[in-house]
Structure 1
Amino acid sequence: MPLPTITRLLESNGISVVRKVIEQFGNGITVYSLYFEPRSEELVREVLNDLSLMFIARKTAELLPLYFRGEITAKEYAYGGIVSMFVYYFLHHQDEDLEYLFSALKGDPEKLSHLENIRRSLKQETVSLMRIVHTLKNHPELLKGAVALFEDKFGYDEGEFDAEQFKIKQQELREQMGKTVDNDQDKEIIEHVLLFNEVVVRTNFFKVPKTAISIRINPEFLGKDQSYPEAPYGVFLMVGNDFHGFHVRFNDVARGGLRLVLSRDKASFARNLETAFFENYNLAHTQNRKNKDIPEFGSKGVVLLHPPAVPSQDIMRAAGEQAFKKYISSFLDLITNQPSIKDYYNKPDIIFCGPDENTADYMQWAAEYSKIKGYPYWKAFTTGKPQSMGGIPHDIYG
């Protein structure tokens, strides 16, 4: 985040910066030291929590002015970043002609793949990520209402969650938005914002600290979408300030590689952005078929790095490593025992991973870090580890 933006964030919270020091290091890391006038510890703590959330959330330029003007909070800004990603990938527009073709071609995977490419292209031409964020920007009351309900479900309040009352409030918000919105596309977007609140069963959104925002989704709703021949067993979405990624698996105990996707230019990134979840789903589905004769079913994870401001090879590699580590950290938040995280799935998630494109060098780190985070099966969390950790080197044994 640029220093002027940080200064504005502080000033919008009533804190005046009196001195700034910038230190740049050869490895691409920049350290900002900010000095400000004395304020109460409670205010500083609140502002630092807000700053932390703004730093790790997806960069959403259209929503920043609303935050600076005090129209939305840091939580609402961060929620807008992850919910817009959810809507972008999972908005399912009913089209009778396309549904008919999907049914007719159900037994032909190759033709289904081509048809899905056409549908995805049509959908994302009309419902782009920018279009979704634009809807959120134009309806801050939607953000406020949705975040309040999300906090009812996942916030720190120790009271018991009232599922029936939650449904009633969701419906009230739906009806309220229906009175002020007459555009069909906006209505679809709003409906999927509310769907997000319903299908998320675990999140680190309210955990402090964290490196990125992660959610576990109940994927049953994907079974209604003809694009997916089989509803996955588990779907995770991780969104950070410079990446987003998924993890998809098709049974309780599953293993598959983690892929780090680096885009060589903006056009390449646009294509990778468009296809990230569908590619992840297909890779996991293929891995599931490959694993049919072994105890572990198939899974796959994809981390899509957002293009750095200066896309040199060295900076891209360093940014990719940091993105992968934030992905793993936020992923582990949801599969380890974290007292501050409410769980509506009520089953443990047992995850095993392996190396894939651009991640082979990080398998040892991931296993060791999972031990620090308290993952009980840390020794088996990743394959591709060095022999000193009990790993089997694939370059020697295949």
Structure 2
Amino acid sequence: IEHSIYQIMKEDSLLYCLPKEPLQQAFRTNKLSVQGTVYGYVGWIFCQHFLERLGKEYLFLIHILDRRNPVGEEVLEKLKKRLHQDTFTREYILDIRKQYPSLLKVLYAHFLTGHYVNQAEASNQPTISYKRLTAMERLPGEDLAKRIKEVTTNYHERLVFEGFLCFNKHVLKTNLYQTTKVALSIRMDPSFLDEIEYPRDPYGLFLVYGSEFRRFHIRFSDVCRGGIRWIRSREREGQSINVR
């Protein structure tokens, strides 16, 4: 009974952090656990912001266009903006994610294998989360990448789920499995950032998800000022773009 209560406490803390999530139907139909549902949400947000959209063709254009020419610079900026806004929208990524619940489950098992922490304190009895882990299909990173290529039907679908795999590989710390929390926090290894879009490597990258917000904290040294800030868009158009 104590372990069941402990599991309910963990899952309640996640529901408090993220009460509204597009994958909740998968939880209601028992296709995903609460943790798996939250993982799908966090990976979805990660892909919205950090999915590789520019490609080798954009890099080729950078080399052949004279960036000292204002016209060439303007063309590159407009192309970059369109690639970000029109290729992988939040709705498009969500639709792709919903098409493959079994693949998402395997990706979550890969994440769980690397980041699950048993906080059942003094007891050595396995928690319900750990029992779920042992019952899941678990694949190493290389085999999982092959599975993604085999299951998906086109390049866009493969790119989205490779984004989830990239997320798994670069998570350093998370409070996902802690019992008490008011927001979900994840520290990332920033080495995955694209050099074209992020020419300066940050020291630390933190993603924070709450019931009413999604925030980033980026620092360029071990000690820095500030924390999570909310910057409102000046115009409705800007807000519609930044909401992703």
Interval of TM-score (by shorter of Structure 1 and Structure 2) = 0.7 to 0.9
Q: Deviations over 1:100-119 (max 9, x none)?
A: 33345667999768734532
Q: Which residue of 1 aligns with 2:31?
A: 71
Q: AA paired with 1:183?
A: N
What's the CA shift for 1:249? 1.8
Q: Deviations over 1:119-166 (max 9, x none)?
A: 2432331211122222221111122112112111111259xxxxxxxx
Task: Tell me whether 190-199 or 85-94 shows the greater mean CA deviation.
Answer: 85-94
SS of equivalent to 1:84? helix
The separation in 1 between residues aligned to 2:147 and 2:215, in whole angstroms, is: 33
Kindly indicate whether the alpha-carbon contact (under 8 Å) linking 1:82 and 1:213 is maintained by their aligned counterparts in 2. no
Kindly indicate whether the alpha-carbon contact (under 8 Å) linking 1:201 and 1:218 is maintained by their aligned counterparts in 2. yes
Identity of aligned residues (%): 28
For residue 228 of structure 1, the aligned residue among 192, 198, 202 is 198
Matches within 5 A, 1:323-334: none
The separation in 1 between residues aligned to 2:239 and 2:92, in whole angstroms, is: 18
What's the CA shift for 1:53? 1.1
Kindly indicate whether the alpha-carbon contact (under 8 Å) linking 2:26 and 2:32 is maintained by their aligned counterparts in 1. yes
TM-score, length of structure 2 as denominator length = 0.78
In structure 1, the gaps of 5 or more residues are 1-39, 159-166, 275-398
Is 1:134 the counterpart of 2:105 in the alignment? Answer: no
Kindly indicate whether the alpha-carbon contact (under 8 Å) linking 1:72 and 1:144 is maintained by their aligned counterparts in 2. yes
Q: Which has the larger radius of gyration?
A: 1
What's the CA shift for 1:198? 0.5
Kindly indicate whether the alpha-carbon contact (under 8 Å) linking 1:102 and 1:227 is maintained by their aligned counterparts in 2. no
Aligned CA RMSD, in angstroms, stands at: 3.1
Is 1:241 the counterpart of 2:211 in the alignment? Answer: yes
The separation in 1 between residues aligned to 2:17 and 2:85, in whole angstroms, is: 26
Distance 1:272 1:177, change over 3 A: closer
The separation in 2 between residues aligned to 1:110 and 1:270, in whole angstroms, is: 27
TM-score, length of structure 1 as denominator length = 0.50
Kindly indicate whether the alpha-carbon contact (under 8 Å) linking 1:58 and 1:240 is maintained by their aligned counterparts in 2. no
Q: Which residue of 2 aligns with 1:46?
A: 7
Q: Deviations over 1:353-390 (max 9, x none)?
A: xxxxxxxxxxxxxxxxxxxxxxxxxxxxxxxxxxxxxx
Q: Deviations over 1:266-303 (max 9, x none)?
A: 645312225xxxxxxxxxxxxxxxxxxxxxxxxxxxxx
Is 1:189 the counterpart of 2:160 in the alignment? Answer: yes
Matches within 5 A, 1:370-381: none
For residue 259 of structure 1, the aligned residue among 206, 229, 232 is 229
Q: Which residue of 2 aligns with 1:351?
A: none
Is 1:149 the counterpart of 2:110 in the alignment? Answer: yes
Kindly indicate whether the alpha-carbon contact (under 8 Å) linking 1:92 and 1:225 is maintained by their aligned counterparts in 2. no
The separation in 2 between residues aligned to 1:168 and 1:53, in whole angstroms, is: 26
Higher relative contact order (CA 8 A, sep 6+): 2
Distance 1:108 1:216, change over 3 A: farther
More strand by share: 1
What's the CA shift for 1:229? 2.1
Task: Tell me whether 144-153 or 257-266 shows the greater mean CA deviation.
Answer: 257-266
In structure 2, the gaps of 5 or more residues are 120-137
SS of equivalent to 1:259? coil
Matches within 5 A, 1:39-188: 42-57=3-18, 59-61=20-22, 63-103=23-63, 104=65, 115-116=76-77, 118-157=79-118, 169-188=140-159
SS of equivalent to 1:206? coil
The separation in 2 between residues aligned to 1:243 and 1:176, in whole angstroms, is: 33
